[in-house]
Structures are given as C-alpha cells and as structure tokens.
Structure 1
Amino acid sequence: MGLKSMISKPYAKFATKKLRVAADKAVEIQLQIMSELVGKAMHTQFGKDHHFSSIRNYVDFKEAIPVKDYEGLRPYIDRIVKGEYNILWEGRPIYFAETSGTTSGVKYIPITKESISNHINGARNALLAYITNSGNAQFVDGKLIFLSGSPILHDTNGIPTGRLSGIVNHHIPSYLTKNQMPSYDTNCVDDWEQKLDKIVEETISKDMTLISGIPPWMQMYFDRLIAKTDKKIKDIFPNFSVMVYGGVNFDPYKKKLFDSIGKSVDTVELYPASEGFIAFQDNMENEGLLLNTNAGIFYEFIPTEEIFDENPTRLHLGEVELDKNYALVINSNAGLWGYLIGDTVKFISLQPYRINVTGRIKHFISAFGEHVIGEEVDWAIAKASEEHNVEITEFTIAPMVVQGDGQSYHEWFIEFTKMPENLTAFVETLDNHLRSRNEYYDDLIKGNILQKLHITPIQKDGFINYMKSIGKLGGQNKLPRLSNDRKIAEAMEKFKL
C-alpha cells in the first residue's frame, strides 16, 4: 500500500462521517441555503427585480421567483455575457460552462467562485465514500483516467468559457495530477477519434486503476485497447478496480462493458451537470444517488404531470414523496434561480434523500398519448437483453405515424453487439416489458391504436458515425434516446443493416 492510499483511508472515514451528519439534517440545511442565497443576491439585478428583500420563507420564495428554463433566464445571462456586473450573483462568474441546446443554441451556464467547489467536491466525496464503504484505497496509488472534454478555454468578454469537464480539469487536486491521465496535450486534441488513439498510446502500458467517463465513450476506449492488443481489459490493466460513470443510464451498457473488462470491478455513479453537481452514489449496497444537499444549491421539485401547467405545484425537499416522478428545479450560488434543469428524478429513500434519474423532460415519446419515459425503456431493454443473452451498443426510439388504426408504432433503432438468435421473440419480450411498465402504452396496444414496436438493426459503429456527422462525437455528448419526431430516425436510415 502506497503513502497516498494509507493517508486516504482515515481522511475518507472522516469526510464520509461529515456527509452522513449533513444528510441527516438535509431539510434543515436546504431551507438555510435558501435563506443564504436570497441574502447574498438581494442587491443583484435579479434580486431587485424579484423583490428578494421581501422574502421571509419558502411561500414568499415561490411567489417571488418564477420557474424558468434557460430561455427564461437568457435576458439576464446575455447582460453578463456583455460585461455587466451583479446581475444574477455578486460580481461576475469566473467561468461559463458552454453547452449546446436544441432550441437555445449555445448556452452559457455561469460558474462563480462560490459554486466551483460544488463541481469539484461532489466527485471527491463520491470517491471518499467509496473508499470508506469498500475498503479499497489502492486505486489512488495507480493511474486515473478521466475521459473528458478539452481543457482549452476561450474568452467570452473576460470570462473563460468551455465545456464543464474541461473547466473541472483545471481544478483537479494537486495530489492527483501526477496520477492523472491522459496528458494535458492529449486532452487538448479536438478530434475525438484522434484523441482516443493518443489516449490508448499513452495509457496502454500504464498501471490504470480507475477509469471514468460516459459509458459509450468508455466502451470506445475499451474497444480500441482490445483491437490493439487482442486482450481483455483485465489483462491490460490488472489493477483496474474502479469504474466511475455518469451522464446516461448505465444498465444498457453494463453487460458489454464488463465483457470487455473480463472481470467484475466496482462502479461509482455520479450525477454531474453544467448547472451543478446534483448527486452521487454514496453506498455500494443501497440503490440510488445521495442528493448533494449541502453544497450551495436549493432544490425544488415539480410533479412531472404538472410541468407544463401555468402554476405547477412546487415542493422543497421536506415535502417530496417516495416513488413519484419530479422535474428538478435548482436555485444556486452560481446565480441560477427557479432553473428548470430538464431532468426528472424519483426519490427511492427519504432517510437519507436518495434519488434515481428517470429521464429528461423533453426526452419522452407521447406521439399517441403514451408518455413513455427514459426509465421505462432503459428497464425494458435491459430485462429483454438479459433474457435473450443479447448485447447492445446503443439505441434510440422514434414514433412512426401511419394512417389507419393499428398501423402506427414505435421504431427502435438498435446497434447490437450480439444479435438475438430470434429477433421476433426479442421484439415480443421487449414490447411486453415496456407494456408492463407503462399502462398508457399497454392500453394503446390493447385498443389496436398501436402495433407492437418494430426494431431496425443498425450497422456496427452506426451511432458513432451519426454522432460524428453532426459534430458531437466523444467528450460529454449524449445521444437522445427518445424523440417525438423522426429527425434522428431519418438520419439513422443510412446506417441500418
């Protein structure tokens, strides 16, 4: 055991104990954060416009601050971009996290000197909790790889701007920088495939112990290593013991990833977003992610069935219920107010507050009134794949609207690593699993409004080539799993088998 791993164990135990104490007082801490945020931003332009000086409690807070998406906050953010001070938060942000949206174009998410620690400490706390729960600290002595965006930042009127993962790269603790892979120069390569080749070259002979990234891009990394060596990952990196992931549901990728590795390794799930580090897996034995309730973010929750209502119900943490889908709203020390982040979550524990991410507000299919969400399709395809010994690389779903009762259907575009022996039987199983999770979809099938789903197999690397064709290959880019139109479906036609 090295010096770092020896030191990390007692430190992890101390830090994890603090996390548990804070988790026990989560509601109290949340309401305190609400008051502190209002007090700090009282004299900003947003605070003046929304009468922060009159806010005394959560009822006042809801009356003063409307729920908004990025477009709702854009007039304020545009003023910050132009160089104005004290708009959403005191002073100016120290960074903009740049993201791309389907309707908003480029989005500039502010990161302030107060909020940057939220992004850094969330991942740190997840690893410290893992060390305490597993007893495995040896990985900190080896090489750690973070498959992330470029750390090169550009200037937006005096504010450094780039992808969140690139910004965070500048704040990795000094005690980890010697262990960190890939090199800075390689991380700066823009082209994802060139970057991946360089990462393989740099890491193939190293003692890699932790690998982190979005599952489909970790799989690409593994595929390149296996192609180059004709070995499983366990034989290339015998001390590899921890896989850290986030960004998408892990289940559809799990079997292929572990087959590529060739052995079981521990996994740690994170829920990072450009707007804040929301939650992390704090316990290997309990399902769900611990909500990050003591990090400068005040959370609100809207029942998903009310999300498009003019005056939806808004709840603070102490008012939520188990097993109910909520749209997540954040208010933060980055200057985001009543901000609809776009994700939906479900509480699976209230002691402590643990969540599952169930989907995206805009990523669902309801072309026929079925309102199928990400959680349901991920569960259905994972179950069907397990039962039919199928491996899947990637998939996306779109509605096919055909005139006439019983003619329309959901079309699943699936890239199989391992095809089902009987595709018809696989379709039947998958459709039945989805029907078991969504009564509206089931009713439409029973009522002869919809046919059962269709599967269009996609050629090898079809989704990679699609992402490349739209300039979103690699890094933190994610393929939408669910659509209410056929834009992606039409693009995938040229990649079908």
Structure 2
Amino acid sequence: MGLKSILVRAIAPLLASNVYRAHRHAGDRQRKLLKSLVRQSYHVHYLNDLKISRDDDAQTISQKLPIVDYEDIRHYIDRVREGEKDVLWRGLPKYWAKTSGTTSGAKYIPLTKESMPDHIRAARNALFCLIADGLSADFFDGDMIFLQGSPELVYENDIAVGRLSGIVYHHVPSWLQRNRQPSYEVNCIEDWEAKVEQIASDTSQRDMRLISGIPPWCVNYFERLLSLTKRNNLLELFPNLSVFAYGGVQYAPYKASIDSLIGTEIQGMETYPASEGFIAFQDKTEHAGMLLNLEASIVFQFVPLEDWGKPSAKKLFIDEVELGVNYAVVLTSNAGLWSYSLGDTVRFVSKAPYRLEVTGRVKHYISAFGEHVIGEEVEKAMQAAKEDLFLSVREFTVAPEVNPIEGKPYHEWFIEFENDISSNELDKLSEFLDNHLRKQNTYYDDLRVGDMLSRAKITSVPSQGFEKAMRASGQWGGQSKVKRLANDRDWVNFLLKTMK
C-alpha cells in the first residue's frame, strides 16, 4: 500500500461523515439554501422580473419560480452570452458547458465560480464514501483513466466554452494528475475513433486500476484494447484493475458485455453527473441506489411524473417525497438556474439517507395511445429477455408505429444483436418483451387486452447499425448515447434510412 492510498483511507471516513450530515434535517437545510441563493443574487434581472424579494420565505420563492426548461430561459442565456452581467446570477459565469440538446440544438449551461467546485467535490466524495464503506484505496497507487471530451476551450466574450467533462479536466486536483490517463494531448483529439485508438495504445502498458466513462464508449475502448494486445480480457492486461466508474446511461444493458470484457465483475461506482449539477452518486459498495448530493449548493425539488405538465403540478421539497414514486427533477443552484427542469425522472429507494434511481427522461416515453411507457420499463424488459433467453444485445431503441400498412398499431423494437438470431428466436423475443411490458404497465396491458395494440414487433438492426446512424447524425463520440425510446418515429426513421 502506497502513501497516497494510506492517506486517502485515513481521510475518507471524515469526508464521508460530512456527506451524510447534509442528509439530516435535509428539508430545513434545503429551504434555507433556497433563501440563501436568493439573498446572494436578489438584484439579478431574472429574479426582479419574477418579483422575488430577498425577504420572501422559501415557500413563497418556490411558488414564484416557474418550472422552466432551456427554451424558456434561452433569451436570458443569450443576454449573458452577449456579455450582460447580473442576468441569472451575479456577474458572469466562469464557463459555458456546451451540450448538444435533441430539441433545442446546442445548449449553453452556465457554470459559475461558486458552482464549479461542487462538481469536483461530488466526484471525490463518491470515491471516498466507497472507501469509507470498505473499498480498497490501492487504486490511488496506480493509473486511472477518465474517458471524456476534449479539454480544449474556446472563449466567447471572455467566457470559456467547452464540454463539461473537458472543463472538469482543468479542475482535477494536482495530487491525482501524475497517475491520470490519457494525456492532455491525446484528450484533445477530436476524432473519437482516432482518440480511442491512441488511448488504447498509450494505456496498454500502464498499471490501470480505475476506469471511468459512459458504458457504451468504455465497451468501445475495451474492445480496442483487447484487439490491440490479443488478450482475452482486461484482467489479463490490467491485473490490478479494481474499480469501474460509470454514468450517463442505464448500466444494466451493458453489464454483461462489460463483465465479459473485463473478465469478471469488479467494483462498480455509478454516478449521476449533469452539466446543470452533480446530482447523485453511489456511496455503498453494495449498490443501494445513488446518494443525492445534498452537500452541494443545489436545491432539489421533485414533481410527481403523473402531474408533470399540469398547471396544478406542485414542486416538492426533499422531505416531502415518497418512496417508489416517479418524479421529474427540478433544481435551483448557484449556477444561476432557477427551478430548472433537468429532464430526468427518478424514484427514491431510501429516505434515510436519500438515495434514488434514475428511471428515464421526461420526454423519453411512449404514450401514442395513452400507455405512457417509460425508459425504465423497456430497460427492465430487455434485461429480463437477455437473462431468460440468453441473448446478447449491443443496442436497442423503441418507437410506436401508429399507422401500420396493415393490422393494429404496435410498439417496434429496433435491436442490434451481437450474434446471429433466427426468426423463431425473434418471435419468442417479441412475445417475451410484450408480456414483460404488460406485467409492468397496466395501461399497456389494457390496450393489448382491448385489441387496440398488436404485439410488439422486432426489427433487427445490422451490426454497427446504431454506430452508423449516430455518426451520420453527428452524435458519435464519448458523451453521446442512444435514445432508448421516443413518442415519435423521427429517430428510428433516420436509423432505417442509414440501414439501407
């Protein structure tokens, strides 16, 4: 055990206790934080437009703040981008985290000097909580890799612009720099294929102990490594590999492939980062949901999914949530985001402390016929099919077919298999997925019983078909991911077009 890991193990319990302290009397803390954020920035134009006063109590502030998405505040963002100060938060932001929104085009999410440290602190806390729970700290004595976007930044009216992961690169503590991969120069390679090829080459001779990234792109990296080194699995190459940190997508569809590529199941660490704030992270070695990041200067509020979009929808503070209910996430922070819809849906699995699971996206659902199927349901159906029918699936997405050439409407599953599959196996899979979805979703079952929908249909996607479509749409790279489902056929029609 090296000096670094010895020091980390000594410090970890102290930092972990601070993390959990924020979960005591969390409702009161969150209400006080909301008042504090207003008092720090009561003079900004956005709050003045809403007639929010520094003397308002938390409930009044919450009621005055409308739930907004990016389009609702785009004109305020544009004013800040033009150099106007005190619009959403005092002064100007330190960075713009540029994201590729599916409905709003490019989005510019503000990161301020006050909000940026919370992103770094949360990543550190995730590791230290796991170590306090018994995880070996030996990985600090070897190499770590973070598959991320380019750290190169451009400047717009003196504000640095880049991808969140690239911005974070500049804030990694100096004590982690020496054993961190890849190098700055390699990280700056924009072409994803060339970048992964170089990363695989550079890291193949290193003592990799922790690997972090979005699961589908880690699969890409792992496959390149094994192809390059002619090894059977990663543990033959990296015998000290002990932690796999991931986030950005549901992990279950990728777990079997990743375990196979690694050679066995190793300690996972699920994280829930977003440009708008670091939301939650796994804090226990035995996964029990992700711990809500209440230590950050973020006010988390939750709207029951069944009320989402209704004028009467009420935002709940953390002490008002219930277990097992799907909520849309709304946050207010010192980045200058006020009652901002994150677009995700979550469900709490614990309230002491507050732990949650991500269940999908507010806009990623199928309800063409009133069934309101969500991402979690299709993920669970596919995972069960893979386990029960012994299937190997690389990617999939689901969309409704409202006007088929013949017969009743249906849900169409577009699936890329890793092996050849017979028509008989496709038929069994169709029946399995349909039945599993019926068991999970009573509305879908009612439509099937009432003969309003036909059984789910399977369309097999050729090998690398999703990759080809993602490339063609300009979304191929380390931070992009396949949308699991949609209420229209725009994405699958594009997929079909690239398959021809």
Q: State the TM-score, normalized to the length of structure 1.
A: 0.97
Partner of 1:30: 30
Matching of residue 129 in structure 1 with residue 129 in structure 2: yes
Aligned to 1:295: 296
The residue aligned with 1:489 is: 492
Structure 1 residues 233 and 335, CA gap change in structure 2 (3 angstroms): same
- In 1: Cα distance, 2:58 partner to 2:104 partner: 30
**Superposition deviation, residue 52 in structure 1:** 2.6
Match of 2:399 in 1: 398
CA contact (8 A) 1:456 1:496 kept: no
Farther off after superposition, 5-14 or 26-35: 26-35
State whether residues 245 and 269 of structure 2, in contact with CA within 8 Å, keep that contact through their aligned partners in structure 1: yes
User: Counterpart of 2:440?
Assistant: 437
Whether the 8 Å CA contact 2:465–2:499 is kept in 1: the answer is yes
Deviations 1:255-274 (A, max 9, x none): 01101111121000000000
CA distances 1:208-267 after superposition (whole Å, capped 9, x unpaired): 000000000000011111222232111111111100000000001000110111112100
Paired AA for residue 388 in structure 2: E
Q: What SS does structure 2 have at the residue aligned with 1:52?
A: coil
Q: Which residue of 2 aligns with 1:412?
A: 413
Deviation at 1:103, TM superposition (A): 2.5
Matches of 2:499 and 2:378 in 1, distance apart? 21
User: CA separation in 2, counterparts of 1:405 and 1:455?
Assistant: 16
CA distance in 1 between partners of 2:284 and 2:28 (Å): 23
Query: Which letter maps to 2:492?
Result: A
2:64 and 2:401 mapped to 1: Cα distance? 43
Q: Compare 304-313 and 2-11 and name the one that shifted more.
A: 304-313
In 2, are the aligned partners of 1:30 and 1:294 still within 8 Å (CA)?
A: no
Residue 198 of structure 1 corresponds to which residue in structure 2? 198
1:314-347 Cα shifts (integer Å, max 9, x gaps): 1111111111111110000000001011111111
- 1:405, 1:448 within 8 Å by CA — same for their partners in 2? no
- Between the aligned partners of 2:226 and 2:410, the Cα distance in structure 1 is 38
Amino acid at match of 1:90: R
Is 2:272–2:279's contact at 8 Å kept on the other side of the alignment? yes
Structure 1 pair 27–59 and aligned structure 2 pair: CA distance change class (3 A): closer
Residue identity opposite 1:467 in structure 2: M
Q: Is 1:454 matched up with 2:436?
A: no
How many positions carry a matched residue from both structures?
497
For the Cα contact (< 8 Å) 1:304–1:344, is it kept in 2? Answer: yes
Distance apart, 1:429 and its partner CA? 1.5
Matched, 1:467 2:473: no
Question: What is the CA-CA distance between 1:164 and the residue it aligns to?
Answer: 0.3
Query: Are the counterparts in 1 of residues 298 and 332 from structure 2 also a CA contact under 8 Å?
Result: yes
The AA in structure 2 aligned to 1:102 is: T
SS at match of 2:129: helix
Distance 1:54 1:151, change over 3 A: closer
Moved more, 431-440 or 166-175: 431-440
Q: Equivalent residues in 2 for 1:202-351 (5 A)?
A: 202-231=202-231, 232-351=233-352
Structure 1: which 5+ residue stretches go unaligned?
Answer: none
What residue is the counterpart of 2:157 in the other structure?
Answer: 157
Aligned-residue RMSD, C-alpha: 1.5
Decide whether the 8 Å contact of 1:278 with 1:292 is kept in 2: yes
Shift of 1:202: 0.5
What residue is the counterpart of 1:101 in the other structure? 101
Normalising by structure 2, report the TM-score.
0.97
1:73 is matched with 73
Match status 1:86 vs 2:83? no
Q: In the alignment, residue 327 of structure 2 is paired with which amino acid?
A: Y
- State the alpha-carbon separation in 1 of the partners of residues 475 and 287 from structure 2: 34
Query: Are the counterparts in 2 of residues 148 and 213 from structure 1 also a CA contact under 8 Å?
Result: yes
Alpha-carbon shift at residue 125 of structure 1 (Å)? 0.5
- What is the CA–CA distance in structure 1 between the aligned matches of 2:355 and 2:220, rounded to whole Å? 31
Q: Which amino acid aligns with 1:130?
A: L
Cα pair 1:391 1:419 within 8 Å, conserved? no
Cα distance in 1 between the residues matched to 2:406 and 2:63:
46
Q: Percent identity?
A: 48
CA contact (8 A) 1:71 1:104 kept: yes
Q: Using the alignment, how far apart are the partners of 2:172 and 2:469 within structure 1?
A: 32
Q: Which amino acid aligns with 1:207?
A: D
Match in the other structure for 1:64: 64
Aligned counterparts of 1:74 and 1:402: Cα–Cα separation in 2: 36
- Residue 375 of structure 2: aligned partner: 374
> Take 2:17 and 2:301, find their aligned partners in 1: how far apart are those partners?
26
In the alignment, is the contact (CA less than 8 A) between 1:147 and 1:475 conserved in 2? yes
* C-alpha distance after superposition, 1:29-80 (max 9, x if no partner): 2112111101101111122222232653232112321111111111211111
Deviations 1:407-448 (A, max 9, x none): 211111111124557222222222211111111111111111
- Superposed CA deviations along residues 358-405 of structure 1, whole A, max 9, x for unmatched, are 111111111111111011111111111111111211111111123599
Write the letter of the residue equivalent to 1:79: R
Change (3 A) 1:350 1:145: same
CA contact (8 A) 1:131 1:137 kept: yes
Give the AA of the match of 2:135.
Answer: G
The DSSP-based 3-state class of the residue aligned with 1:93 is coil
Which whole-Å CA distance do the structure 1 matches of 2:55 and 2:476 have between them? 45
Indicate whether 1:476 and 2:479 are aligned: yes
1:153-194 CA-to-partner distances (Å, cap 9, x unmatched) read 111111000100000011011011111111101100001001
Contact 1:291 1:354 in 2 (8 A): yes
Distance 1:344 1:190, change over 3 A: same
